[in-house]
Structure formats: C-alpha cells, structure tokens
Amino acid sequence: MSAPILVISTSLSSDSNSRKLAERAAKILGECDYVDLRDYPMPLCGSDTSFGDPNAKTIGAMIAAARCVLVAVPIYNYDVSAAAKNVIELTGKSWQNKIVGFMCAAGGKSSYMSVMAVANSLMLDFRCLVIPRFVYADGTSFDDFSITDAEVEKRLNGLLDDARKLTSALATVSL
C-alpha cells in the first residue's frame, strides 16, 4: 500500500539543493513515498511517445495513489524547472484533487513567487488544494550535503506539519 504523502525531487542535477530539501522532507516525514526524477528518465511532453512512456505511467500511478504530493523544484530564470513542468504534463489527471506543497531552491532571493504559475495551473486544471506555505531557499541555505539555515528548516517543518494535518483532515473528503 502506498503512503498518503509522496515527495518528488524534480531536479536532474547531481548537485541539487532542491533535492536536499526533498530528501530532508522524506526523512522528517518517515512514512512517505519518494521519487527522484533522475531515476525515471522521460521524454519531453509532446513527443510521439511521451504520453505512453512507461516511466511517466509509473510516476502517474504513484501520484494518483497519494493524497498529498510535495514537489521539490529548482528555480531557473524565475520559473520552476522544465523537468518539473514536464512531469506534470506527462502525468496530467493523476494530479486530480491532490493536496500539493512546494519546496523551492533558487540561486537568488528574488524568485520566491516563481512557483505561482504552476500552483495556479494545478488548482485550476486539476482542482488541487495547494498548501499556502511554500519553502523557498537560496544557495546560501545549503552546504555540500544539507540544509544549513535554521529558518529554512523551520519553514520546511511547517510545510510538513501542514501537509500531515491536511492529509489527515481531508482523508475522507472529496476535494
């Protein structure tokens, strides 16, 4: 049986701060499912075989089975990564009626609202309930191995508490 919370790391970079957020979230949650997109290579959405891709189907099934999806995204050029958008496009309706939270890592402090276009799309297209507490961290919040900023750690714990509470409270409610 799947855990009610799924954590997805959408970075394809081997040296990823957003993955550090995802890994820390999974460790704190304990009982959750975890996906690293590096382990599931997928074609770009719109290619001839993209929607029949086995990895997209596998991740789509994991999203469909979860009640809450926490997405760790790198921010590039004031937007979530192409890989993050691609996985949403390829898994489409599996996002229907999910609780969704975001953990964002960026190079600078000015991109903190970058996730809003994707959040709005998930709300409008798939009736997701987006947790109104994002984690946003820039490069100064990490060392080579982990989160080093106590405030980021506090915000991460707040997001995870909200995810647990909403997942539990809405377990029997249809969004």
Q: Please give the pLDDT value at position 63.
A: 98
Q: In this predicted model, what pLDDT tens digit does every residue of 72-98 receive, in sequence order?
A: 999 998 899 999 999 999 999 999 999
Helical residues (DSSP H) of 8-149, grouped into ranges = 17-29, 54-65, 82-91, 116-126
Residue scoring higher pLDDT (67 or 175): 67
Q: Please give the pLDDT value at position 175.
A: 60
Q: Measuring CA to CA, how many Å separate 136 from each of 17, 19, 105, 140, 158?
A: 11, 13, 6, 12, 12
Please give the share of the chain, as a percent, with pLDDT higher than 70: 97
| pLDDT at position 169 over 80 | yes
pTM score: 0.94
Confidence of residue 113 (pLDDT cuts 50, 70, 90): confident
Q: Measuring CA to CA, how many Å separate 1 from each of 25, 82, 116, 166?
A: 20, 30, 32, 20
Q: Please give the pLDDT value at position 110.
A: 82
- Does domain 5-169 match CATH 3.40.50.12280? no
Q: In this predicted model, what pLDDT tens digit does every residue of 122-157 receive, in sequence order?
A: 999 999 999 999 999 999 999 999 999 999 999 999
